[in-house]
Amino acid sequence: MPVNPADSPILGTLYGSDAMRAIFGETAYFQRMLDVEAALARVQGRMGIIPQSSADAIVAAARIENLRTEDLAASARTVGYPVVGLVAGLSRAAGEAGAWTHWGATTQDIMDTATVLQVRDGLDLIEAALRSILAALVVQADKHRNTVMAGRTHLQQALPVTFGLKCAVWAMPFIAHLDRLKQLRPRVQQVEFAGAAGTLASLGDQGIGVMAGLAAELNLNVPLAPWHVCRDGLAETVGFLGLVSGTLAKIATDIILLAQTEVGEVSEPYIAGRGASSTMPQKRNPIASEYILAASRMVHGLVPVMLGAMAQDHERATGPWQAEALVLPQAFVLTHGALLHTQAIAEGMVVDAARMRANLGITHGLIVSEAVMMGLAPVLGRGEAHHVVKHACDVALNERIPLADALQRDPAVPARLDRTAIERLIDPAHYLGSTQAFIDRVIAAAGS
CA distance 26 to 28: 5
Q: Among the options 154, 314, 364, 387, which is catalytic? A: 154
Give the max Cα distance, the chain: 103
Q: What is the DSSP track for 206-256?
A: GHHHHHHHHHHHHT-BPPSS--TT--HHHHHHHHHHHHHHHHHHHHHHHHH
Helix (H, G, I), strand (E, B) or coil at 351: strand
CB of 389 within 8 A of CB of 406? no
DSSP code of residue 411: T
- Compute the Cα dihedral for 175, 176, 182, 188 and give only its sign: negative
**CA separation, residue 136 to residues 21, 126, 129, 233, 342 (Å):** 25, 16, 11, 30, 10
Contact 221, 309 (CB under 8 A): no
Give the single-character DSSP code of 414: T
SS3 sequence of 31-72? HHHHHHHHHHHHHHHHCCCCCHHHHHHHHHHCCHHHCCHHHH
CB contact at 8 A, 242 and 295:
no
Calculate the alpha carbon distances from 67 to 31, 80, 103, 107, 203 in Å. 10, 18, 19, 17, 27
CA angle 421, 425, 426 (to 5 degrees): 115
289 is an active site residue: no
* Residue 154 known to be catalytic: yes
Cα separation, 321 vs 324, in Å, equals: 6
- Report whether 144 contacts 163 (CB < 8 A): yes
Which one is catalytic: 53, 277, 314, 434?
Answer: 277
- CA angle centred on 85, ends 84 and 87, rounded to 5°: 65
CA 366 to chain CA centroid, Å, is 38
- Active-site positions read 154, 277
